[in-house]
Structure 1
């Protein structure tokens, strides 16, 4: 299509401004106006077939993705990735203290699960929880402030890395495997109250051998609870490969009489379709179900673990180059004309800015005052008296 003389003049003006270093945003707007209408609005993609256990059918092997959802998924995964890298930096600067378990590499699990359930559904996970805290609606600012122990954190600086909560999100939990029976309890409440909700109860391959998990399986199966038990199998638990720690590494079959799915946890579309299938099964009164997401963490188990004593740097790099969840989605979008390189770069710039602003808040917001140390022990803030005394009554902040 030929451009009018006025249009050509406008474009020349913008190009001149770019050369002067003053109009990159205007160029982005012109490119958007000229090309966004030509993008593919919707496309269908082949996804890896899930392995099944005690199921007559399986999740679909094709997934329909809209451009709007693709951009949303890409941005959310980039936020989680950049947030975790910033947490790594703050920890090494000794601004974040204590335990800190990062989620980079596993972004397709959190974002794919959220895409397959409803915001009104329930979710509970272990201590590698920052990604889920974000997908459940908590801002990066509140998450990083919680990591640095500031009063602007989502738990007012008192919970730290392992204890973050939101609506219908029952937190990261520090006791290995303890969240699984809690999730079964939430699912029992859903059934008791007659809601159409399900509960996603997550744990890792290291926790998969815990006895309490099998107790939760048993009760959930007896009572047909709407619970999706999900094992995020990132292959190394705290630092031991699954082959050395588990007699059976087919975690999706661990529920025995409970049906199971083994899913490519590095492909967001595969996770989304499998989760939706599992949620539909639970809503139909056919729950529970066990899912195993085969994924990979780039960091060590925690920040105190370099992560290369039980696996090689070459292995980590190979996963990054061949199976990175963000790159896989990005390549699909570009190959099918669902976005432009410039558009995705602009998202990356916006995400980095958001993370930096959140980090600035997380390092300057005040810490909670000492006199609040024992608040919120009871839901109604009733004082806790021990033999007629309040042991913290004399605590005062001096800073």
Structure 2
């Protein structure tokens, strides 16, 4: 009895499918052949504006925290802007889902969500995107399919697997982008999710934002395998090693990874090597590294300055870019004023959107 066309494989294709090295390294090789996205002038300017908005927003959030207007924890995204902008600019709006940990303000801004409602959430106001009840660590927008903002280290990875399963079950053509950090990469639930995602061929891109220090310990002191993109090897998940300080490289990696997933190739593990300029949170003085180290990264690897150089080489003037910065600073100041003048939630808001179970 003849096998169906679906089951039929040529010897070459079968050899490739059965070869772990081919599966694991094919995307990285494609990325190395063409590492940077060929962006139009309009795209590059949009990337620049988005990254600059995140930078200025986070700087303002740090100021408001220092003034006592933002309470609780506050984890800033300064230095990591190219990761969220590069990846999320390649998503299909309204189709794909995103989930991340508690360093989440930048991801929401990269989605184009109104800075007013994000800043209002940071300051615990009714106008906030989670009605002032989530704060810095628990942003959420079902409209944009942004599912947090999660405070439990690594928990978003398992939830991201669930989102990917929903995409596959509903056959909606979407994928899930699940971010986590180098610290969360050592959580057991991460590997359980890797296993299920590979076993069920789920449409998910796992993104490790390796900012080098987790909560305050250098990766070399906390991880036996510091090349995190290799961590999917046991599950035959192809890995990608990406310069997370270059938005054009991140975007190109996204093009390759997303196509692989959308074509039914299953999960991808992408490591974006980046760097946070501030401490783990606003309460962290970051004494585990030198000021000289941080300054060196700022001077030689900053994602915004790097793209600014490309824009200047392509005809933009310093005056034009200064005008953009001025406009963005004004927009962020407007968001801060909006947040400060917005009312706090009414007492009865404590009982909305809260699930209470009785036994």
What TM-score, normalized to structure 1? 0.80
CA distance in 1, matches of 2:77, 2:71: 17
Matching residue of 2:25: 54
Matching residue of 2:321: 344
CA distance in 2, matches of 1:117, 1:386: 40
Offset of residue 62 of structure 1 = 4.2
Offset of residue 336 of structure 1 = 2.2
Matching residue of 1:152: 127
Offset of residue 88 of structure 1 = 0.4
Does 1:278 pair with 2:257? yes
Equivalent of residue 254 in structure 1, options 224, 231, 234? 231
Q: Mark the runs of 5 or more structure 2 residues left unpaired by the alignment.
A: 1-22
CA distance in 2, matches of 1:126, 1:275: 20
Matching residue of 1:90: 64
Offset of residue 115 of structure 1 = 2.0
Contact 2:36 2:251 in 1 (8 A): no
Offset of residue 276 of structure 1 = 1.3
Equivalent of residue 344 in structure 2, options 356, 359, 367? 367
Does 1:306 pair with 2:280? no
Contact 2:35 2:253 in 1 (8 A): no
Range that drifts further, 158-167 or 290-299:
158-167
Matching residue of 1:137: 112
Does 1:103 pair with 2:77? yes
Offset of residue 185 of structure 1 = 0.9
Q: Which SS does the other structure have where 1:373 is aligned?
A: helix
What TM-score, normalized to structure 2? 0.89
Matching residue of 1:324: 302
Q: Which SS does the other structure have where 1:176 is aligned?
A: coil
CA distance in 1, matches of 2:305, 2:297: 11
Offset of residue 285 of structure 1 = 0.5
Contact 1:138 1:154 in 2 (8 A): no
Offset of residue 361 of structure 1 = 1.1
Cα deviation, 1:134-162, whole Å, max 9, x if unaligned, reads 12232111111100000111111010001
Equivalent of residue 228 in structure 1, options 196, 205, 211? 205
Q: Mark the runs of 5 or more structure 1 residues left unpaired by the alignment.
A: 1-51, 379-383, 388-399
CA distance in 1, matches of 2:298, 2:42: 26
Matching residue of 2:188: 211
Offset of residue 368 of structure 1 = 0.3
Offset of residue 61 of structure 1 = 2.7
Does 1:179 pair with 2:156? yes
CA distance in 2, matches of 1:53, 1:263: 15
Cα deviation, 1:75-113, whole Å, max 9, x if unaligned, reads 111110000000000000011000000001000001000
Offset of residue 63 of structure 1 = 2.4
Offset of residue 347 of structure 1 = 0.7
Q: Which SS does the other structure have where 1:108 is aligned?
A: helix
Equivalent of residue 168 in structure 1, options 137, 145, 160? 145
CA distance in 2, matches of 1:231, 1:343: 34
Does 1:358 pair with 2:339? no
More relative contact order in 1 or in 2 (CA 8 Å, sep 6+)?
A: 2
Matching residue of 1:128: 103
Q: Which SS does the other structure have where 1:54 is aligned?
A: helix
Does 1:67 pair with 2:41? yes
Offset of residue 350 of structure 1 = 0.6
Return closer, same or farther for 1:93/1:226 CA change in 2, 3 Å cut-off.
same
CA distance in 2, matches of 1:386, 1:115: 43
Offset of residue 216 of structure 1 = 0.2
Q: Which of these two proteins has the greater Rg computed from alpha carbons?
A: 1
CA distance in 1, matches of 2:115, 2:99: 19
Query: How well do the aligned residues superpose, as a CA RMSD in angstroms?
Result: 1.4
Contact 1:80 1:134 in 2 (8 A): yes
Return closer, same or farther for 1:275/1:62 CA change in 2, 3 Å cut-off.
closer
Contact 1:197 1:226 in 2 (8 A): yes
